[in-house]
Chain A
């Protein structure tokens, strides 16, 4: 029934989940660094999500989502195999420029682990020596290790509690990579703004080109609303059409983080409103003794 059908779902943890969505035309042209805007339903908001992978043969677009706000939590409940999204438009943004760098460090943390994967793979395919640096809170949250190992010449995992790999943030991993290789041409860092800021600061003294992928608030994603404007030195750029990739040494991350907090109050309200409705729904169902709705899938469904 729905136009953008979900054909696979995988849950990495209780907050992180993967969706594969059928869109053969988009799968044919999507490139690393691009993003899509999705709407769950007609009353939904438009949220930008970086393309985590694409399969040109199967015609699918892969999204990896963290359930943090109302929409992503609602999607976690609603998006099951066989259901669909109300809208998905893309691929948006300028594809990441896969340079001729010979040695590259690809850094992913939190939300950014999945989107940095296609870049690591593209660099590998372009003949670069790829060092993967991934950050997770603890061992149980690690995902896609096999995919990264397949396209990385070196692979460094960092965990906050030291339960796997190095204990510490991804910046520790970057420092280790820089210590071991004096000839790194480029660092690509994707993750929360505070992490990307740390990465840019870690590479600045070594003057290593550092590209970051910004994900500010957006509405249309086509350059029309200006909600996603970011400061780059003394210039203002729109992440949706001028980016989303920018030189990390020029990005004003403090400005980005302030602007990301614009709707904190409203986001809280939307979440409360939705959770209240969910609770009421459950009470109604319990009261009328109807069978409860199926529990959210916790394993891969195909």
Chain B
């Protein structure tokens, strides 16, 4: 796929990956062997009929490809950009056994973007029910759940604390990876399904989850508020000016548009030498944002090696192209003070890999006496998040020992009618996993409400499904589709 030149793009916020042309997409679609065992479908957290949409694409039936995609995934433009395909569909692609796997994510994005450009939207025939559904959080989990519940005929209201909907897609992921227009388009699709968005609403404080069920007339509620609460390292100098969380940097830059300061009012700390601690997707975003804001040097400080870095392969690759300096096997031990309350530098220690730990990755162990100092004026922590405490403070929802909301395998919480999914249940994960959780919760919520619909390809939860669920064929998709020009 064509990309912006690394030198040029490191100075702008335009999208890095330019997307496929029609010719590119057709050529790539031909590489799919349409193999009968369809490993990619099983590799997708939401079970998209991947060979199905690629086949339509190859036949130049782009609308047909879009129809198949939107049967299971409402947000193809988003997922095509931000899913970690290499560990999902593309990771199990049969072609990938011997050659590069089929670029499923890029094809998905092509179809999604074509739909946005052409103004396509699939409004299924919706039989209204009397049910009202409340959704807390307008991020990927909430959006996916809202789509399924709206398609099932429910009256859906999504609550968002920020002044614009989209959750992490809006405040977290920078424009050069996921342009705002794409988020707007996908949210408008939800509005066309009848979903209402209420921003500036802090659920828990303005009203509680219990009140939604008992007083506000919601029959069921989904909680997808994300993990929030960034982790600080807890080393000396943590509270110095010039140390901030990646969430703060990204929110200021993306949602509040601090990159356009002073035309937008929110300021942003600008560093000449920026050190980002961590090597996940958020860390990559923070580094590449810093580069675009004009930093001369951007360092990545990570205590494990490149192999263990949790970021998407493409993101690490893009960061390397943009001249981010990676310091693998390096762990911060202190932030150094300039004597005026700001950051002067950082002290780190070299690490080596020891025995595998609980996560199966080799545990990094410090090398004695290998401390060294370097100069930096801005330090960004991208080392994960803890559970946001607001739900726990304001509701009777049972929390697990880490403070996340406790949910069973159907994503039901301890309060009847209330379901939860995404980062607030699992801890920080990916956009597509949150969407998968939103859809799984929607299935449970429909069962709770007694809605039986066949608009979804039901997936057996275990091996005992024996090809049917309550007598419905697992592959059944017999809803009527109404096309809107």
Contact = CB atoms under 8 A, between A and B. Distances in A.
A223 B390 contact: yes
Nearest to B393: A94
Given A94-B393, A224-B229, A39 B163 contact: yes
Contacts of A89: 161-163, 200-202
A219 B252 contact: yes
Contacts of A153: none
Contacts of A25: 206-207
A269 B266 CA distance: 11
Interface stretch (B69-77, B240-248, B366-374): B240-248
Which one of B200, B244, B257 has the greatest number of beta carbons of chain A within 10 Å?
Answer: B200
B94 interface: no
A90 B229 contact: no
Nearest to B257: A43
A225 B268 CA distance: 13
Interface in A215-245: 219-227, 229, 231, 236, 238, 241-242
A229 B228 contact: no
Contacts of B199: 87
B228 A236 contact: no
Interface string B246-274: 01100110001100011111111100000
Given A226-B244, A229-B239, A46 B266 contact: yes
Contacts of B234: 236
Given A92-B202, A219-B248, A241-B388, A225 B161 contact: no
Contacts of B14: none
Contacts of A44: 264-265
Nearest to A4: B200
B230 interface: yes
B309 interface: no
A270 B162 contact: no
Contact of B206 (A26, A259, A273): A26
A45 interface: yes
A224 B261 contact: no
A90 B206 contact: yes
A262 interface: yes
B202 A45 contact: no
B266 A45 contact: yes
A225 B168 CA distance: 12
A229 B232 contact: yes
A94 B269 CA distance: 29
Contacts of A262: 241, 269
Contact of A222 (B245, B267, B388): B388
A43 B226 CA distance: 26
Contacts of B268: 266
Nearest to A230: B239
Contact of B256 (A45, A70, A241, A255): A45
Contact of A238 (B229, B263, B269): B229
A57 interface: no
Contacts of A224: 171, 226, 228-230, 247, 251, 388
Contacts of A93: 205
B389 interface: yes
A47 to B, nearest CB: 9
Centre residue among B206, B226, B245 by max chain A CB count within 10 A: B206
Contacts of B202: 89-92, 221-222
Contacts of B161: 89, 220-222
B453 interface: no
B168 to A, nearest CB: 9
Contacts of A261: 241, 341
A71 B264 CA distance: 11
Contact of B262 (A46, A88, A231, A270): A270
Interface of A: 3-4, 25-26, 29, 34, 39, 43-46, 70-71, 86-94, 219-227, 229, 231, 236, 238, 241-242, 255, 258-259, 261-263, 266-267, 269-270, 273-274
20 contacts: A29-B207, A45-B264, A89-B200, A219-B251, A219-B252, A220-B171, A222-B390, A223-B229, A224-B229, A224-B388, A225-B252, A226-B229, A226-B232, A226-B245, A236-B232, A236-B234, A236-B239, A241-B388, A255-B239, A261-B341
Given A89-B200, A241-B389, 18 more contacts: A43-B257, A43-B263, A45-B256, A46-B163, A219-B252, A220-B161, A220-B171, A223-B229, A223-B388, A225-B230, A226-B230, A226-B244, A231-B239, A241-B388, A259-B341, A263-B267, A266-B268, A269-B262
Interface of B: 161-163, 171, 199-202, 205-207, 226, 228-230, 232, 234, 238-239, 241, 244-245, 247-248, 251-252, 256-257, 261-269, 341, 388-390, 393
Which 3 residue pairs are nearest across A and B when measured between Cβ atoms? A266-B267, A258-B341, A225-B248
